[in-house]
Amino acid sequence: ALSSWRQGRKQRSTVDGWRYRITWRPQPEPEQGGFEGTWVIAVPADHLDDDLVQATARGLGERACIMPVSVTADRVELAAQLAALRGDVDAPLRVVSLLALDDRDAGGRRGVPGSLLSTLALTQALVDTEAKFPLWAVTRGAVSTGFAVGGAESDRVPDPMLNPGQAAIWGLARVFGLDHRDRWGGLIDLPETLDDDVLRRFLSLLGRDGDRQDEYAVRPSGVHVRRMVRAPLDPSAATAPWEPRGTVLITGGTGALGAHVARALAEGGAEHLVLAGRRGPDAPGSSELSAELTALGARVTVAACDVTDRAAVAKLLDSLADEAPLTAVVHTAGVVGEARPLDETSLDDAMAAVHAKISGARHLDELLADHPLDAFVLFSSGAGVWGNGGQGPYAAANAALDALAEWRRAQGRPATSIAWGAWAGGGMVDGTVAEQLARRGVPAMDPGLAVHALREAVDQGEATLVVADIRWDRFLPAYTASGPRPLLDELPDVRRLCAERKAEEPAGDAGGKGADLPERLAALPEPKRKRMLLDLVRTHASAVLGHASTEVVRPARAFRELGFDSLTGVELRNRLSTATGLKLPATLVFDHPTPTALAAHLRDALLPPEPEAGSGTPVPPELQQVARALQAATDDGTRRTLTDGLRGLLAHWEGQEQPSATTVDDELAEASDEDMFDLIDRELGIG
């Protein structure tokens, strides 16, 4: 009994450590600021007369110009419009996106608002212009600030005005802010009713340059900012999790996630489990899973159903009419997709990713609107809560799922959306992404405990919840590489780590923007400059990959061979941008494919290149073979052998068996093997 009690306490502590939720904190009334530069208001072409458009234009005055955006506009067209509006004026340009006004479905895809695709095209155009045009994305009804009946977080009530399509823009734009901090203004959500106080607050927020907050909700009661806080289960709450009964429909039921859920629900008493998936009984492992669930006491139906097809979903639900009553739906279906920067994401790919995740949930919501349910569970992701670099469409889809759950609750219907971290055993992400998440401080959770957390959330009537194992000492440095993230300000772990980081910062470098790096480099001789920048690249690359030292990140080894992809490449770019103060492209590690090449690029960007001794002199024919051998050497061992041979040859020419410490330059005496490689490359004209 004591062992069982201790095990239960340990599991309770573990699950409580995974639980977080989003809350909103009231702020002081914002003061009216000035509006410098030119303000471009991006507006759907058929919403030019909207009250919000006209009020924004009036508030910004003569500095404002309206940029109509058609539903078919692409990044090239929008970049040209931005360039034309800027002209030759040196004054800063700022962009306010009101594209969220168009919330019609795009291309007949349920749950994919046209405004999401036009917002994606706008972010891509901003990157293509290669100018720092900060973007403010404005929505109406994207988030629920809620209110507390008795002051407790558990008493939060969602806003009935919620619009899940608007929430998708928050997920997408949040990732843009992570990937392109230098082009980021923030997110502002407005209420349905635009009175004078709301408009005054809205315009005041636009004029607040340099404000570290970047996610606002303006309400009749005032301005609120978004925070993630810990949410352990109240000790006084009932500890018995939701007990399923009757028929439970699990979409994606034959996949890894669906199988984990099905096992737990079968053990918990579900009479009939319906596992729906595209391939149905033909899905790999479906017969074995059915047998396993049957042995646990549940009757099992494996159904072929594409939940993105509304007619197919309706047909499946009709077929269950004669079964035990349908009491719950668990929607696990969805596709993570390949991580890539927003400026490399096509509109078609974005539409497909969002449609795959959202449409099934919308179809189930609509078709079961009047059906009494005990639970309506949506599998969301942390990407929709805090944003993951390179996962814009996926973040958009999950933010919309969270909003859908809040909206259902506001209509008096059951709904619980859980933003998960990674699960062990597959399902949420593939092996490669799981490894990347673990390196970033989000290791995989035990599926049994994760499903237990799900059942508790349903039992407690949670509308939205974050359940993720986050190791903040690893997660925080990567997440804040390009700047502070106010979302995390109230987490005790984050506060402690920030205090430790601040205490370790050298005096005068608290800003961390690399403003004095050029001066420090200029004071060093060239070999030490290269070494300093190479160490900088290797240190940050090691941190991104989760290595404790820089030993694995060899100077001449390609970033791709080290394990870098688009997602980790963006993270390294963000870190180096902060460390150097440079504006660096998202494709940095692919444009300069080795640490040595990247360090050389940073050196040229930070300081004008100096003429090298003997520059312009071709390599003598007698040394061409040596040059070719060095250029062809791709591994450290071969390059080291060639270097040692050249050292011995030089010593022989000088009439010495070994180079004398009194005749060798001080820099060469201190040089590492990597420095010698660089020196030889430079002297032979192949560096």
Instruction: Read off the tokens for 677.
Output: 């490689």
Do 550 and 426 lie in one domain? The reply is no
Tokens 């996610």 locate to 215
Question: To 10 degrees, what angle do helices 310-319 and 347-367 make?
Answer: 30
Q: pLDDT value at position 182?
A: 82
Select from 199, 227, 255 the last residue of a domain.
227
Q: pLDDT value at position 525?
A: 86
3-state secondary structure of 281: helix
Q: Closest by alpha carbon to 306, among 230, 371, 252?
A: 252
Strands 247-251 and 326-331: parallel
Do 598 and 625 lie in one domain? The reply is no
Kindly tell me the sign of the dihedral angle through the C-alpha atoms of 191, 193, 197, 202.
Answer: positive
641 Rama sector, left if φ>0, alpha if ψ -120 to 50, beta otherwise = alpha
Do 354 and 455 lie in one domain? The reply is yes
Do 471 and 521 lie in one domain? The reply is no
Q: Which residue type occupies 280?
A: G
Whether 465 maps to a domain, the answer reads yes
Q: Closest by alpha carbon to 573, among 534, 607, 602?
A: 602
Select from 424, 457, 477 the last residue of a domain.
477
CA distance 639 to 107: 56
Do 326 and 187 lie in one domain? The reply is no
Do 326 and 432 lie in one domain? The reply is yes
Whether 484 maps to a domain, the answer reads no
pLDDT lower than 70: segments of the chain = 87-91, 147-160, 210, 237-239, 334-338, 427-433, 504-515, 566-567, 608-640, 651-687
Is-contact 299 273, C-beta < 8 A?
yes
CA distance 600 to 598: 5
Question: CA geometry: angle at 145 spanning 140 and 148, to 5°?
Answer: 150
Tokens 């609120």 locate to 224
Which long-range contacts link 32-36 to residues 24+ away (Cβ below 8 Å)?
A: 32/200, 32/203, 32/204, 32/207, 33/204, 33/207, 33/208, 33/209, 34/207, 35/60, 35/61, 35/63, 35/206, 35/207, 36/63, 36/91, 36/92, 36/209
Q: Closest by alpha carbon to 216, among 103, 117, 147, 137?
A: 137
Do 591 and 627 lie in one domain? The reply is no
CATH code of the domain covering residue 581 = 1.10.1200.10
* Residue 158 C-alpha from the chain's centroid: 25
Do 276 and 161 lie in one domain? The reply is no
Whether 506 maps to a domain, the answer reads no
Do 674 and 595 lie in one domain? The reply is no
Do 594 and 630 lie in one domain? The reply is no
Whether 616 maps to a domain, the answer reads no
Whether 487 maps to a domain, the answer reads no
Is-contact 238 456, C-beta < 8 A?
no
Domain count, the chain: 4
Instruction: Read off the tokens for 234.
Output: 């109240």
Q: Closest by alpha carbon to 121, among 66, 166, 176?
A: 176
Tokens 């979302």 locate to 487
CATH code of the domain covering residue 39 = 3.40.50.11460
Is-contact 227 25, C-beta < 8 A?
yes
Question: Which runs of consecutive H residues, i.e. helices, occur in 87-223?
Answer: 114-128, 164-179, 196-206
Q: pLDDT value at position 160?
A: 64
CA distance 127 to 40: 16
Do 664 and 562 lie in one domain? The reply is no
Tokens 């155009």 locate to 125
3-state secondary structure of 306: coil
Using CA atoms, how far residue 413 sits from 234, 507, 597, in Å, is: 23, 56, 57
Whether 1 maps to a domain, the answer reads no
Whether 178 maps to a domain, the answer reads yes
Exposed, middle or buried, 60 (CB in 10 Å: 0-12/13-18/19+)?
buried
CA distance 133 to 124: 12
Instruction: For residue 657, count other CB atoms closer than 10 A to its CB.
Output: 9
Q: Closest by alpha carbon to 545, among 533, 529, 532, 563?
A: 563
Calculate the average pLDDT of the chain.
84
* Rg, the chain, Cα only: 29
Tell me the pLDDT tens digit for each residue of 509-558. Answer: 444 456 678 888 888 888 888 899 999 999 988 888 877 778 889 998 88
CA distance 247 to 300: 10
CATH code of the domain covering residue 361 = 3.40.50.720
Whether 503 maps to a domain, the answer reads no
pTM for this model (two decimals): 0.79
Which residues span the domain enclosing 68? 22-227
Do 445 and 550 lie in one domain? The reply is no
CA distance 94 to 63: 10
DSSP 623: G
Select from 428, 450, 477 the last residue of a domain.
477
**Half-sphere CA count of 153, side-chain side, radius 13 A:** 20
